[in-house]
Amino acid sequence: MLSKLWNLFIGFTRASNLGFGGGPALIPLIKAEAVEKYQWLDNQEFTDSLAICNALPGPIATKMAAYIGYKIAGWLGAFVAIIGTVVPTVVVVVLLGSLIMKYSNSPELKAMLQAVRPVVVVLVGVTAYDMGKKSFPTSSSWGIAVVTVVLLYLTNIHPAFIIVGSMLLGYFLYGRKKKDVK
């Protein structure tokens, strides 16, 4: 049991600390640990777990850690795998963040941040573009996008309502039709 927990901790720490680019970048690394190295799951089970996690909101890496950890070693396994995924990078980000707060008036830090902000804008823009390439298969998806822009810029509506509304719309537009065929 203890070696199982240790392996979960090491496996998820390694995957998380080698993957740059947020949760989705960690998926192949988690697969390398869970399927190839420790053989906790086979390929099909891994694909199923990914489908389950994608059906739910929130960061993907912590959901994968919970699912696999729980399967291998119960609640304690889920806990240990999540700690491995989250704690090391969060501690480093907090330490860097506190440095930024402490030296917020230093000209050196200001210079570095001024240069890095355009980079972040582009990186987030690229994320939107890359996701967008896969997200507009039909003209109705464009319609949803246009309505979203209008609601975001012209009203004060919380995006929660737009998200829930678009899912209901998706259910009526895409979900039921295919169900009838089936």
Partner 1 sequence: MLTELWNLLIAFGRASNLGFGGGPAVIPLIKIEVVENFHWLSNAEFADALAVGNALPGPIATKLAGYVGFREAGWLGVLVANIGVILPTVLAVILLSGFLMKYSNSPVLKGMLRGVRPVVVILIAKTAADMGLGSFPNLTTWGIALATVVSIYWLKLHPALIVIISMAFGLLVFR
Q: Tell which positions 51-80 bind partner 1, by CB under 8 A.
A: 51-63, 66-67, 70, 75, 78
Least Å from the CB of residue 93 to partner 1:
4
How many residues bind partner 1 (CB under 8 A)? The answer is 97
Stretch that binds partner 1, among 1-9, 33-41, 130-138 (CB under 8 A): 130-138
Cα→Cα distances 19→5, 144, 156, 176, Å: 21, 33, 37, 38
Establish if 110 lies at the interface with partner 1 (CB under 8 A): yes
**What are the E-state strand segments in 64-134?**
none
Nearer to partner 1, 1 or 96 (CB): 96
Establish if 101 lies at the interface with partner 1 (CB under 8 A): yes
Q: CA 60 to CA 135: how far, in whole Å? A: 18
8 A C-beta contact, residue 80 and residue 9 = yes
Least Å from the CB of residue 24 to partner 1:
5
104: DSSP letter: T
